[in-house]
Amino acid sequence: MAHYLLIESRDPFECKDVNYYYDLASSLAAEAEGVTLFLVQNGVLPARQGADASGLAAVIESGASVCADDFSLRERAIGTDQLAGGIRAAPLDEVIDSMAAGHKVLWH
């Protein structure tokens, strides 16, 4: 089975097509061996505790891993202790490692 890495750089509060990407991650998690949604740039904004992020919560519930780029978090003054449950901070190096491992990578 395939491994997927989906990278989301957009803020769902500003760009409604992000929810489509969340749905894609959830659907793939049901069919693929491993799915990771990696949040970068403004994509980290819904990762905060208390954010209205039901689409992101559905991705977590689907079994996909959700990571938030630690540099993007620091740029937006979001501490790792402020992340919602099920989301972990990670370095961008993990994207490169996934690519090197042959994972299918989609960037939105």
Give me the half-sphere count of Cα atoms (radius 13 Å) on the Cβ side of residue 3: 11
Grade residue 2 by pLDDT with cuts at 50, 70 and 90: confident
- Name residue, tokens 């949604």: 37
Six-digit token string for 103: 């994972």
- The pLDDT assigned to 1 comes to 66
Q: Domains in the chain and their CATH numbers?
A: 3-107 (3.40.1260.10)
**pLDDT band at residue 53 under the 50/70/90 scheme:** confident
- Which residue, chain included where needed, has tokens 């749905």? 23
The percentage of the chain sitting over the pLDDT mark of 70, rounded to a whole number, equals 99
Q: What's the whole-number average pLDDT of the chain?
A: 93
HEC string of the chain equals CCEEEEEECCCCCCCCCHHHHHHHHHHHHHHCCEEEEEECHHHHHHHECCCCCHHHHHHHHCCCEEEEEHHHHHHCCCCHHHECCCEEEECCHHHHHHHHCCCEEEEC
| Mean pLDDT to the nearest integer, 38-42 | 97
Q: What's the pLDDT score for residue 33?
A: 78
Q: What is the structure's pLDDT at 94?
A: 94
- What's the predicted TM-score (pTM) here? 0.94
Q: Which residue has the higher pLDDT, 2 or 96?
A: 96
pLDDT at residue 73, rounded to an integer: 97
Listing from the earlier edge strand, what are the strands of the sheet with 65-69?
87-90, 65-69, 34-39, 3-8, 104-107
